[in-house]
Structure 1
Amino acid sequence: MERLNSKLYVENCYIMRENERLRKKAELLNQENQQLLFQLKQKLSKTKKNPNGSNNDKNLCSSSSASGQS
């Protein structure tokens, strides 16, 4: 019984460490998503102010794909 408790304790520690690692990763991804959303909103507001700009869609796609490579 003591051996089983020790094994479960070690497994629980591993799970808690992995959970913390995933929580930090999720937080970083959320921050990145918020930044990308902010950039997208800025570009969209510029597009609305300047509807005659022909390169707006091209710039929007290239900057979001470049930011996504982390």
Structure 2
Amino acid sequence: MERLNSKLFIQNCYIIKENERLRKKAQILNQENQQLLFELKQKLSKTKNPNGSNQESNNSLSSSDSASGQS
């Protein structure tokens, strides 16, 4: 029984390490996605709104972000 507990403990440690590694990777990917979204919004506002004519498209982007929990 003690040997089984030791085995399970070691497996648990590996799972925890892998989980931490994946969490860090997900955090990095999320940051990259946020940066790309920011750059995309900037490009869209520059190309479609040079004189303020397409304000509605910018508003729809902002509202879809807030609805999905993005900032």
- TM normalised by structure 1 equals 0.70
Offset from partner CA, 1:10-47 (integer Å, 9 cap, x none): 00000000000000000000000000000000000001
The one-letter code sitting in structure 1 at the alignment partner of 2:36 is: L
Residue 45 of structure 2 corresponds to 45
Q: Where does structure 2 lack aligned partners over 5 or more consecutive residues?
A: 51-71
Instruction: Give the letter for the 1:28 counterpart.
Output: I
RMSD between aligned alpha carbons? 1.3
Aligned positions, number: 51
Percent identity over paired residues: 80
Structure 1: gaps of 5 or more residues:
51-70
Q: 2:25 maps to what in 1?
A: 25
For the residues of structure 2 that align with 1:4 and 1:18, how far apart are their CA atoms?
21
Tell me which stretches of 4 or more aligned residues in structure 1 moved more than 6 Å: none
CA offsets, 1:40-59, max 9 Å, x none?
00000001124xxxxxxxxx
